[in-house]
Amino acid sequence: PIFDNQVNEYRNNAGVSMRVQSVLLPSGCTPVPSAMTCTNGLQIPQTNACRIDCLGANASDVRLKTDITVVGRADNGLPLYHFRYIGGQTLYEGVMAQDVLDYMPAAVVPMEDGFLAVNYQMLGLRMQVVQ
């Protein structure tokens, strides 16, 4: 994984990008991103057990995902899915950017690589790892 302050972009293990709006770092930590899990915004576990919380947009384009299954609907009516990022093993629950475009276009962020990301905070939702 790469965290590049120059371009303010995080690229996770599967090579999926997300735009970062702000980074909150606990005092005394030396961050070295090791994996991505999405809960409230983005939480990146660190090799030294510290955490960075980023408020930003999670890469959420249907073209980046596989093993997609509809599992329900959010309170706002958006379909909720279980999915994996292409090349990844972790199962997530979240939305598809293409669905969000119809519901709240302002919550969809175009990434530099041409894919779409979603600001989950604007939707009042959380993207999370399925246990």
Dump pLDDT digits (tens) for 59-86. Answer: 889 999 999 999 999 999 999 999 999 9
pLDDT at 71: 97
Please indicate, yes or no, whether the overall pTM of this predicted structure exceeds 0.75. no
Of 64 and 39, more confident = 64
Contact 58, 100 (CB under 8 A): no
Instruction: Report pLDDT for 93.
Output: 92
Contact yes or no for 42/10 (Cβ under 8 A): yes
**Counts for the chain of helices (H) and strands (E), in that order:** 2, 11
For residue 127, pLDDT over 80 is answered with yes
* pLDDT attached to residue 46: 41
pLDDT score recorded for residue 111: 82
- DSSP code for 66: E
| Torsion 31-45-81-65 (CA) sign | positive
Residue 70, Cβ density class (10 Å: 0-12 exposed, 13-18 middle, ≥19 buried): exposed
The reported pLDDT for the residue numbered 56 is 63
- Residue pair 52/25 in contact (Cβ under 8 Å)? The answer is yes
Question: What is the reported pLDDT for 100?
Answer: 96
At 22, the amino acid letter reads S
Give the Cα separation of 100 and 125 in Å (integer). Answer: 12
For the cut 60, the answer to whether the pLDDT of residue 117 exceeds it is: yes
